[in-house]
Amino acid sequence: MTAGSRYALIQLVRYSLITVAFLAIANELGGSWSQVQWLVAALSVGLGFGLQEIFANMVSGIILLFERPIRVGDTVTVGDVTGRVSRIQMRATHIVDWDRKELVVPNKTFITDRLINWTLSDTVTRVVVPVSVAYGTSVEMVEKILADAVKSIEQVLSDPEPLVIFIGFGDSALQFKINVFVRELSDRTVVTHRLHTKIYEALLAHHIEIPYPQRDVHIRSVAKGILNE
């Protein structure tokens, strides 16, 4: 079994044992359902209003363990939080972000909000790198330079195939986009860094300009008009 499966099984068994133990203790104390049913009903109504968020998170925690949209060890994004799932508890899930901070996220958030699980069924992800060059540059040459840069990086997968796309005409530059795929999330930063380095060095070697934004400013002669008056 995977680590996530073991964790889910252990948590479900723990909840079941707690329930069985509670019922056994109540039975040993001599209580019967007919005697306490009204008390249980009253307590349920009171708790339902006062602790509805806690109950919602507890039910959501059980749903997470059964449906398993996230597992211990998965990398997830919820809202603006991205990190690795370290624990799934009854009320909340613990996520360790890239700064090694542990964030406690209520389980209800994973059920009601939009969730991105980067490693649920496949760890392959796409890396997109935009590149701009000056007008007048040979499109064919730029495509070859970018393709060679992609081929020189070992972490880039050959399937799906990398793509170099001429996407359009910007205000100050010809715009290209590189689409590559990597096997692990940890490769994304490495591949992005190496692509930027290789592309920059290749463009410099071929004397291809990376343009700055350009603006045309028209100045009208106001002083001359004032002097004429």
- Here the tokens at position 188 are 């994304």
Q: Work out the pLDDT band at 51, boundaries 50, 70, 90.
A: low
Q: How far apart are CA 38 and CA 42, in angstroms?
A: 6
Instruction: Judge whether residue 190 has pLDDT over 90.
Output: yes
Q: How far apart are CA 197 and CA 192, in angstroms?
A: 9
Domains assigned to the chain: 3-117 (2.30.30.60), 125-205 (3.30.70.100)
AA letter at 200: Y
Instruction: Judge whether residue 23 has pLDDT over 80.
Output: no
Give the residue with greater pLDDT, 142 vs 224: 142
| Res 124: pLDDT | 92
Whether 97 and 54 have beta carbons less than 8 Å apart is answered as no
Burial class (CB in 10 A: 0-12, 13-18, 19+), 57: buried
Q: Work out the pLDDT band at 161, boundaries 50, 70, 90.
A: very high
Q: How far apart are CA 112 and CA 115, in angstroms?
A: 9
Q: Work out the pLDDT band at 80, boundaries 50, 70, 90.
A: confident
Q: What is the mean pLDDT of residues 194-204?
A: 94
